[in-house]
């Protein structure tokens, strides 16, 4: 952690030498330099130009992507999921490849690319193999009654 409370490396983006950034002298010079330094180090985040990932679609499954809504059709049914809350480009390159792309994203925004691809892969697994849900009731102190029905 530096003298200004920042936990990242100290870099001045105005000039290689931090003294070249400021022209004041005296006490106000120190306050101005501290605020200028804090402004330029905290507001500059690295953004990657483009990040993309593709998902291969197996035979017998149809995938459509329109306005960030992905629909997967397979032998066990149809799954539909909306990714409108994420600012990503989702498109079909060809009928067997889905591409998820993010332009000018920060670290957290880039993580959403792989997350969307994982969700689509799980949807592909769901329409081919299916899922089985198991519920377990565990208690430690007082008895809990569980009743199951055939409905």
Token pair listed for 107: 């670290």
pLDDT in tens, 23-67: 444 444 554 454 544 444 445 678 889 999 999 999 999 999 999
Token pair listed for 42: 């905290």
Name 96's Cβ contacts closer than 8 Å, sequence gap at least 6: 56, 57
Q: What is the pLDDT of residue 128?
A: 96
Domains and CATH numbers, the chain: 1-44 (no CATH), 48-128 (3.90.930.12)
pLDDT in tens, 83-132: 999 999 999 999 999 999 999 999 999 999 999 999 999 999 999 999 88
Sign of the C-alpha dihedral computed for residues 83, 88, 92 and 96 taken in this order = negative
**In DSSP terms, which residues pair with 129 in a beta bridge?**
none
pTM of the model: 0.62
């Amino acid at each position: 952690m530096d003298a200004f409370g920042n936990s990242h490396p100290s870099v001045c983006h105005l000039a290689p030498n931090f003294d070249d950034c400021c022209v004041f002298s005296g006490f106000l010079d120190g306050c101005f330099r501290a605020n200028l330094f804090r402004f330029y180090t905290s507001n500059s985040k690295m953004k990657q130009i483009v990040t993309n990932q593709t998902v291969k679609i197996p035979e017998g499954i149809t995938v459509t992507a329109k306005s960030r809504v992905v629909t997967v059709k397979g032998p066990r049914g149809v799954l539909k999921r909306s990714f409108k809350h994420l600012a990503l480009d989702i498109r079909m390159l060809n009928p067997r490849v889905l591409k998820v792309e993010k332009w000018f994203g920060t670290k957290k925004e880039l993580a959403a690319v792989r997350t969307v691809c994982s969700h689509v892969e799980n949807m592909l697994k769901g329409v081919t193999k299916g899922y089985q849900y198991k519920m377990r009731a565990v208690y430690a102190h007082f008895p809990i009654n569980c009743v199951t029905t055939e409905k």
